[in-house]
Amino acid sequence: MISKAVPKKAFFITGTDTNVGKTLVAAGLLVAAKNKGLTTAALKPVAAGCDKTSEGLRNADALLLQSVITQPLLYDQINPYALEAAIAPHIAAQQEKRSLSVDRLSGFCRGVLAQADFTLLEGAGGWRVPLNPRETLADLAKNLQLPVIMVVGIRLGCINHALLTFEAIVRDGVPVAGWVANCVDADMPAMQENIDSLRARLPVPCLGVVPFLAVQSPHIVATYFDDVELQKIIL
C-alpha cells in the first residue's frame, strides 16, 4: 500500500476504433490503481447503446466502471448522457432531440475529476467521434486538459489505426501518457510481431499487453499491466 498523499491524476481513455476493449482496459486500470491503495473514480459522459430499466437508461460499460471504483458515485454522475440507440452518439442524440456540447459535458465531468487519486474519463469509440456539427469528444479531452491513454485493439489493421490515432492526438496538442495493447482477435496471425512493431513506432510507453481473454474480468486484466510503467503515470 502507498501513502494517500499523492497528486490527483486523471486521464482520458480513447480507442483506435470501436469495440477494442476500452472499458475493460479502463476497468482493469482502475482495479490496478485500487490495488496500489489509490482512491478511484470514473466517467463515461456519453454512452450510446443503453437498456431501459426501472431506474432509467443504463449502459453496460458505465455500470462496469461503477462496479470497480472506490468512490460512491451515482450512475448519473458517471454517465450524464445515456442514449438508447447503439449508434454514433451525435446521431443518437439527434434522434432523442438532445444536445451534446463540450461545455456541458465539461461541467458534469469537473465535479467528479477532483474526487479521487486516480480518475479515468472514457470516450466513445475513437478519438474523432462527433458530439455535434462542430465538436468531437477529442475537444472534451482538450478542454479538460487530460492526458490520453490509448487502447489499441490488436487485430488486422491495428498498426495503421494506432499510428493515425496517435498522430491525431498529438496534432491536437494533447499529451499521450501511454498505450495498452488489447488482443481482441484470438486467431490473429503474427500477433506478437504486430505488438513489437507498435512498440518500435509509438514513442510512449506500453502500459501492458492484455491477451485474448475467454473470461473478461477487470481483476484479471489488472494483472497484465507493466507495474513499473503504470506507477510512473499513476503516482
Among residues 10, 34, 7, the alpha carbon closest in space to that of 112 is found at 10
Cell of 110: 469537473
The answer for residues whose C-beta is within 8 angstroms of residue 130's C-beta and 6 or more apart is 88, 89, 90, 136, 137
DSSP, collapsed to helix, strand or coil, labels residue 126 as strand
Tell me the torsion sign for CA atoms 100, 169, 167, 30: negative
The H or E element containing residue 119 is strand 118-126
* Active site (catalytic) residues: 44
182 close to 152: Cβ distance less than 8 angstroms: yes
CA angle 19, 142, 166 (to 5 degrees): 50
Among residues 49, 37, 31, 40, the alpha carbon closest in space to that of 11 is found at 40
174 close to 138: Cβ distance less than 8 angstroms: yes
Q: List phi, psi (to 5°) of 125.
A: 70, -135
